[in-house]
Structure 1
Amino acid sequence: MLTDLHIAVIGGDARQLEVIRKLIQLDAKTSLIGFDQLDHGFTGATKYQIEELDFSDVDAIILPVPGTNHEGQVDTIFSNEKVVLTEEILKKTPEHCIIYSGISNGYLNELVKTTNRKLVQLFERDDVAIYNSIPTVEGTIMLVIQHTDFTIHGSNISVLGLGRVGMSVARSFAALGANVKVGARKSEHLARIAEMGLQPFYLSELDKEIADSDICINTIPYPILTAKTLSNVPTHALIIDLASKPGGTDFRYAEKRGIKAILAPGLPGIVAPKTAGQIVANVLVNLLKDAADAREEKK
């Protein structure tokens, strides 16, 4: 149970609704910011404008998966209110207050450093990322079916990166009968790709290896599909970029060549928000309990 914990949930999409339900179920005092247009209310939670909430007894702040933008603004699809997380707000919180976010950026990193608060990036955790790769794969399959006029079975698919998402994507498309090859930098990753029964290649050879691809799925969050590389891609090919914004693809050049390229971060929140929210909620609850227990031990 989370009785006696005061938790502020600030902004977010449908995934946050599952987090809120879990917090209420476990008896946390739950304050909601950026949910004033939510159709249904939550018994046991209270809605506030950000300037109305007293942050002096808030034990944890839960941000959406993207965290904030580079000006500190938090996405709030259930409100027209402009919500900005500021240094002034965090300084009002108790010293033990922890900020939970899916990912972070320069603004958020500097904010917690300046205010000496702890930031936990949920999507840096293996458990969250691996669970989350399941709806990511399903969403990727959906996009491929929607945007191609040929079957996945028998098509040539290049997956870039063998991280937690890349591994799940590669395995799933191979199971659907595609000819899957996977590009990676590390020799141990290439060994794992071969062990999985897939075709490995070094990313340094990407320009050559991508030339016969019908579909390219990128999971690497830096410029990898450059104009030079894309000049070797067949014009009928489909590119799905799963990396966090702005992705790893030169979308301008892809459009110029007539190549369909889709930036698709956050697929779990689009195709399976309930499941994606439950994944985040279950991990959050354990982290909140651990933090509360640690504070009790120090007393």
Structure 2
Amino acid sequence: MLTGLNVAVIGGDARQLEVIRKLTELDAKLFLVGFDQLDHGFTGAIKVKLDEIQFEEIDVIILPIPGTNPAGIIETVFSNEEVKLTDALLTSTPPHCVIYSGITNPYLDKIVESTHRKLVLLFERDDVAIYNSIPTVEGTIMMAIQHTDTTIHGSSIAVLGLGRVGMSVARTFAALGAQVKVGARKTADLARITEMGLTPFSLENIHEEIRDVDICINTVPHLIVTSKVIANMPAHTLIIDLASKPGGTDFRYAEKRGIKALLAPGLPGIVAPKTAGQIIANVLSQLLTELKIDGKGFSS
């Protein structure tokens, strides 16, 4: 149980509702910022404005999956209130206060470093990333069906990267009957691709390997689908970029060439927000239980 733990949930989308539901069930005391337009309430959770919170009593701050934007603004789907995370706000929290976010950026890194607060990134955890790959794959299949006029079965598909998402995407599209080849840099990954019964290729040869693909699915979080790569693609190729913003594709050149390129980060929150929220809620409840047991200075 999380009795006595004071938690500020600041902003977020439908995934955060599952987090709120789970933490209130565990008897944490929640202060919800950016949820004033939400119709229903939660027992044990209070909707407040940012300036109404006594941050000196807050043990935990939970941010949305994207954290903040580059200027520190936090996304609030259920409110028109503009909410900004500042170093002054973090300084007002107790030294033991922990901040949880999905991912980070230079702004967020800077303010947690300057205030000596601990930042925990949920999407750096293998368990979260692997669980999230399931709705990501389902969303990718949905996009492939919506934006092509042929079946996935029999299509030639290139998956770039064999990380946690890339592996799930490659395996599932192959199971649907696609001809899947996977690009990677490490020799160990190329060996794994072969073991999976798929066709491996080195990303150094991407310009040649891309010549015959119907769908290119990128999971690499830096520019890899360059103008040179796109120039070698068939005109009908669909690019689905699953990497974090700004993605790994030259979208300007793709548009210029008339190739459809879709940036699709955060698919779990779009196609299956309830499941995606439950994944985050379960991991957070485990982390907060451990934090409460080990932590000192909490209100309980």
- The aligned runs of 1:67-146 (5 Å cut-off) are 67-146=67-146
- Residues 211-259 of structure 1, C-alpha deviations (whole Å, 9 max, x = no match): 0000000000000001011000111010000000000000010011110
**Partner SS state of residue 129, structure 1:** helix
SS of residue matched to 1:51 = helix
Identify the residue that residue 188 of structure 1 maps to in structure 2. 188
Paired residues, what number?
A: 299
Q: What is the deviation of 1:22?
A: 0.4
Residue 296 of structure 1 deviates from its aligned partner by 4.9
Cα shift at 1:297: 11
TM-score by length of 2: 0.98
Please give the residue correspondences for 1:1-299 in structure 2 after superposition, counting only pairs within 5 Å: 1-296=1-296
Structure of higher RCO (CA pairs closer than 8 Å, 6+ residues apart): 2
List per-residue Cα deviations over 1:39-74 (Å, max 9, x = no partner): 212222101111111101111000000000111000
Do 2:157 and 2:180's aligned partners in 1 also have CA atoms closer than 8 Å? yes
Q: Distance in 2 between matches of 1:105 and 1:170?
A: 28
Letter in 1 for 2:130: I
Distance (Å, rounded) in 2 between the aligned partners of 1:228 and 1:238: 16
Q: Which amino acid counterpart does residue 36 of structure 2 have in structure 1?
A: D
Alpha-carbon distance, 1:203 to partner: 0.1
Q: Once structures 1 and 2 are overlaid, which stretch shifts more, 35-44 or 64-73? A: 35-44
Q: Which amino acid aligns with 1:198?
A: L
4+ runs deviating over 2 angstroms: none
| CA distance in structure 2 between the aligned counterparts of 1:56 and 1:144, rounded to whole angstroms | 49
CA distance in 2, matches of 1:59, 1:244: 29
CA contact (8 A) 2:95 2:117 kept: yes
* Paired AA for residue 216 in structure 1: C
CA distance in 2, matches of 1:40, 1:289: 26
TM superposition shift of 1:285:
0.6
Q: Give the CA deviation at 1:205.
A: 0.1
What secondary structure does 1:275 align onto?
helix
| Counterpart Cα distance in 2 of 1:186 and 1:297 | 45
CA distance in 1, matches of 2:223, 2:76: 29
Structure 2 stretches lacking a partner, 5+ long: none
Output the CA distance in 2 between the equivalents of 1:110 and 1:293: 29
Structure 1 SS opposite 2:88: helix
Amino acid at match of 1:111: I
CA distance in 1, matches of 2:37, 2:43: 16
Report SS of the residue matched to 1:168.
Answer: helix
Q: What is the DSSP-based 3-state SS (H/G/I as helix, E as strand, rest coil) of the residue aligned with 2:289?
A: helix
